[in-house]
Amino acid sequence: MAQLNLILLGPPGAGKGTQAERLVDDFDLPYYATGDILRAAVKEESELGRKAGEYMERGDLVPDEVVVEVVVDRIDRTEAEDGFLLDGFPRNPEQARALDDELSRLGRELTAVLLIEVDDDEVVRRLAGRRVCVKNGHLYHVELDPPKREGVCDQDGSKLVQRDDDRSDTVKHRLEVYRDQTSPLAQVYEERGLLRRFDGSRSTSEVHDHIRATLATLRLESEL
């Protein structure tokens, strides 16, 4: 298996970002989170960036075709010649089909789709309990990682607040959007034999070990 072309799937709060950091270290893969690469494209002031920026400035969703162009522009660069890790893309079956078409055009294919599963109650508990300091963005959790003094950052003494998108009602809405738009991708990729499931309720290290073992097995099978 010359390349590791991977997609991370899972609801908000599943721990995709944490696992992505570890996979990047493990396999030296470029990590492409949709929001990050859209902002990077805007900053580069490329034609694609200007196109995406027009929508973002108005607060509109960037159309699927533009998002696909931005993503493909990244995975077609030298930095991604040995593989990539996508997070937040594709978001729906239409984007998945477009990605397949573009990968085929580039003579590439997906290695696996890694789905981290966490039930809704646990997602709400994780996200609604998060607090962030207003000065430097240090993260805490009221249950899992509380500060020494309630409401005060241990590191810089600034006030801890709950972000709007971490409020319980907002988290529940985000989960509804995920179920409606993104969760159907699990069936799409399962039917193609690409989906691998991981229990996101387990510890970060256990999930990481399971993902590493799965990718090692895939590599061995490709060499047989």
- Complete domains list, the chain, with CATH: 4-118+178-223 (3.40.50.300)
What lies within 8 Å, CB to CB, of 66 at 6+ separation is 48, 51, 52, 55
Percent of the chain with pLDDT over 90: 65
CA distance 66 to 45: 15
Question: For position 1, what pLDDT does the model report?
Answer: 53
CA distance 145 to 84: 31
Q: Which two tokens stand for residue 215?
A: 């990718």
Contact 104, 50 (CB under 8 A): no
The pLDDT confidence band at residue 56, using thresholds 50, 70 and 90, is confident
Contact 158, 133 (CB under 8 A): yes
The pLDDT confidence band at residue 224, using thresholds 50, 70 and 90, is low
What lies within 8 Å, CB to CB, of 28 at 6+ separation is 82
pTM to 2 decimals?
Answer: 0.86
Collapsing DSSP to helix, strand or coil, 82 comes out as: coil
Question: For position 177, what pLDDT does the model report?
Answer: 87
Q: What is the enclosing helix (H) or strand (E) of 63?
A: none
Averaged pLDDT, 31-49: 84
Active site residues: 16, 91, 130, 163, 174
Averaged pLDDT, 115-132: 94
Identify the bridge partners of residue 33 per DSSP, sorted by sequence position: 87
What lies within 8 Å, CB to CB, of 140 at 6+ separation is 130, 131, 132, 133, 146, 147, 153, 160
